[in-house]
Chain A
Amino acid sequence: QVQLQESGPGLVKPSQTLSLTCTVSGGSISSGSYYWSWIRQPAGKGLEWIGRIYTSGSTNYNPSLKSRVTISVDTSKNQFSLKLSSVTAADTAVYYCAREPTGAGGAFDIWGQGTMVTVSS
């Protein structure tokens, strides 16, 4: 049973870079059949897709965040990571990592439990 677990600081100062890691257990991130995504949800609001990475290293980002986002993968550690630069209070949210089978229009079939990140001085 594949599981995802987010980790990283729960508090980030404005203008700094938010860094989170998602650890994949119960399966290999290099299986080649999945994309690996980050999704966030501000308190009381809806879901926002941040971006995805394939194990080849190819990425797609939400255009609204593209200038500030970097997603990378470390297959040796079975992890993928998110960096979001120049954060503001608007980036305060629960951040989820999720698995997305490849193929046109794939759904997110497995999600991490989510990690709360607050941007505040």
Chain B
Amino acid sequence: SYVLTQPPSVSVAPGKTARITCGGNNIGSKSVHWYQQKPGQAPVLVIYYDSDRPSGIPERFSGSNSGNTATLTISRVEAGDEADYYCQVWDSSSDHDVVFGGGTKLTVL
């Protein structure tokens, strides 16, 4: 089955740029979605189809996807961005199964 690899943790100072990666075999050929999850809350979609933002998500959140790595970029990081972030794809090779990355804890220093 398809595997998505995320770093367990990323730390960034307020006002700086955070980059969270999601690695997978030829992930550039798939559509990648990103979710933000704060403690005790359900995940919230922040990026879909690699780089689109749902309504209400700040422009500070952006995404890219190429080769074997997709990246979620958060510019001008704020304390409120501290959360777990998950990437997700469809594994079209196996009856459209859904695959999540293991998640990355973003810490705002």
A→B interface (CB under 8 Å): 37, 39, 46-49, 52, 60, 62-63, 96, 104-109, 111-114
Are A49 and B102 touching (Cβ within 8 A)? no
Q: Across the interface, which residues of A come within 8 angstroms of B1, CB to CB?
A: 63
Are A49 and B48 touching (Cβ within 8 A)? no
B→A interface (CB under 8 Å): 1, 30-31, 33, 35, 41-45, 48-49, 54, 86, 88-90, 92, 94-103
Q: In the complex, what distance in Å separates the CA atom of A46 from the CA atom of B4? A: 12
Q: In the complex, what distance in Å separates the CA atom of A63 from the CA atom of B1? A: 9
Shortest Cβ distance from B92 into A: residue: A104
Q: In the complex, what distance in Å separates the CA atom of A106 from the CA atom of B88? A: 10
Q: Across the interface, which residues of B come within 8 angstroms of A109, CB to CB?
A: 45, 48, 54
Q: How far is the CB of B97 from chain A (nearest CB, A)?
A: 6
Q: In the complex, what distance in Å separates the CA atom of A60 from the CA atom of B1? A: 15
Q: Across the interface, which residues of B come within 8 angstroms of A108, CB to CB?
A: 33, 35, 43, 45, 88
Q: Across the interface, which residues of A come within 8 angstroms of B42, CB to CB?
A: 96, 111-114
Option from A37, A52, A107 in Cβ contact (under 8 Å) with B48? A107
Q: Across the interface, which residues of B come within 8 angstroms of A47, CB to CB?
A: 35, 43, 86, 88, 100, 103
Option from A39, A49, A60, A104 in Cβ contact (under 8 Å) with B31? A104
Q: In the complex, what distance in Å separates the CA atom of A96 from the CA atom of B31? A: 22
Q: Across the interface, which residues of B come within 8 angstroms of A37, CB to CB?
A: 98
